[in-house]
Structure 1
Amino acid sequence: MENNEVSTSANIEEWTPKTKLGKEVVEGKITSIEQIFEEGKKILEPEIVDFLLPGLEHEIILIGGTPGKGGGKRRTPAKRTARMHKSGRRFTTSCLVVVGNKDGYVGVGMGKAPEFRNALEKAIKKAKMNIIPVRRGCGSWECNCGGNHSIPFQVEGKEGSVRVILKPAPKGLGLCASDSVKKVMMLAGIKDIWIKSFGSTQTRTNYIKAVFNALKKLNTIKS
């Protein structure tokens, strides 16, 4: 379990599919997560991912902040905002989560609710429904080993004011990125990579989404 007591996996035995895709999974017509992406189908139930891709892990991205000792900001797992209503202030908690199997699949999701636990559960479910295959390889001219430790070519992603460039790295270099981005790469199964970022990267939500958008392009761009 990662950093909290919320379960990553749903109870499959109690799951009653509500979508056509979910019914096809239960009936055995679809037997792998790869088949879903090959047929271009959209995942609308998180239980589909639990059924076909068991053992997913998740990490919370620290998007909140409180004043630290001696100034500065101390990062927290949730961001809390308030809105004024006739009955007074109402608080909303936001949570950003990354899920993955550390072997080529990763997803990012944002959840909002009055309580942190509910926001976390929503974020995990959305991350599962947003899961994508990550194309890995060795595109570094310094290495060229043919393994799957990095990415096959350079890609770029953008979200809001944040822009990131992901570059292949030689084997053994490691993840040259911030702690938040390292969580995404580790859950995707990427061990070596160069990352260059532009814009307001302190906005963690846009930063992580920009990285996720870049990873998506690995499947759409032909090398």
Structure 2
Amino acid sequence: MARPKSTKRSMLPFSGRGESEFEEKVIQVNRVSKKTKGGNKIGFSVLMVVGDKKGRVGVGLGKAPDVLSAIKKGVRRGKKRLIKVPMVNQTIPYPVRVKLGAAEVLLKPAPAGTGVIAGGAVRAVVESAGVKDIVSKILGSDNQASNVYATFEALKRLKQMKTKINLMKEETK
């Protein structure tokens, strides 16, 4: 039996300070607690997706005693880990399937005009990357954080495979 959906805030666009070229989305906010000698120490962990909608996307996890600081840390870490997503006509060049832990994600290119057919966590990552037409399926875990990381890994592998294809073309010349 599936777990009931969380009532936590998720996938909210976060517009912090000033105008930025990056769109920032909050995927998950977790309240965590640590038992100490003096009582409980409360903190927050926030999973963020950062993208410019022009082919660059990053994922960052921020941890801090308050939510705003955790969001800022998540954005900063996401910007540090930006990757370039190869796109052909606003979609990905070829299908890719990635299993990362219990999460498994399938991303397939789609014809122009299809739109983004993807579940919540995958949708946030591919929209932030600027992909306009894609079909996806979450096959494994329903954990949002795991699915975000699996989608990010799938987009990273697209990049790696593209460089492999280019190297193979250069070798045959």
Q: Which TM-score tier does this pair reach, normalised by the shorter chain?
A: 0.7 to 0.9
Which position in structure 1 is the counterpart of 2:115? Answer: 174
Which position in structure 1 is the counterpart of 2:82? Answer: 131
Kept in 1, the 8 Å contact 2:35–2:41? The answer is yes
Tell whether 2:68 aligns with 1:114. no
Which position in structure 1 is the counterpart of 2:138? Answer: 197
Q: 1:85 to 1:122 in 2, by over 3 A?
A: same
More strand by share: 2
- Kindly provide the CA deviation profile for residues 84-108 of structure 1, in whole angstroms up to 9, marking residues without a partner as x: 1111111120101111111111111
Tell whether 2:21 aligns with 1:55. yes
Q: 1:82 to 1:199 in 2, by over 3 A?
A: same
- 1:84-123 mapped onto 2 (5 Å cutoff): 84-123=35-74
> Which 5+ residue runs of structure 1 have no aligned equivalent?
10-53, 64-77, 138-147
- Kindly provide the CA deviation profile for residues 11-37 of structure 1, in whole angstroms up to 9, marking residues without a partner as x: xxxxxxxxxxxxxxxxxxxxxxxxxxx
Question: Structure 2: how far apart are the matches of 1:105 and 1:212?
Answer: 11
Displacement of 1:181: 2.0
Structure 1 residue runs of 4 or more that deviate by more than 4 Å after TM superposition: none
SS in 2 for 1:184: helix
Partner AA of 2:110 in structure 1: A
Partner AA of 1:104 in structure 2: G
Give the total of aligned pairs. Answer: 152
Which position in structure 1 is the counterpart of 2:156? Answer: 216
Partner AA of 1:212 in structure 2: F
Partner AA of 1:217 in structure 2: R
% same residue: 38
- 1:10-29 mapped onto 2 (5 Å cutoff): none
Question: Structure 2: how far apart are the matches of 1:199 and 1:8?
Answer: 38
Partner AA of 2:119 in structure 1: S
Structure 1 residue corresponding to 2:17, chosen from 7, 10, 20: 7
SS in 1 for 2:98: strand
TM-score by length of 1: 0.64
SS in 2 for 1:221: helix
TM-score by length of 2: 0.81
Kept in 2, the 8 Å contact 1:158–1:211? The answer is no
Q: 1:119 to 1:163 in 2, by over 3 A?
A: same
Question: Structure 1: how far apart are the matches of 2:83 and 2:18?
Answer: 17
Question: Structure 1: how far apart are the matches of 2:103 and 2:33?
Answer: 25
> Which 5+ residue runs of structure 2 have no aligned equivalent?
1-11, 166-173
Partner AA of 1:181 in structure 2: V
Question: Structure 2: how far apart are the matches of 1:92 and 1:134?
Answer: 33
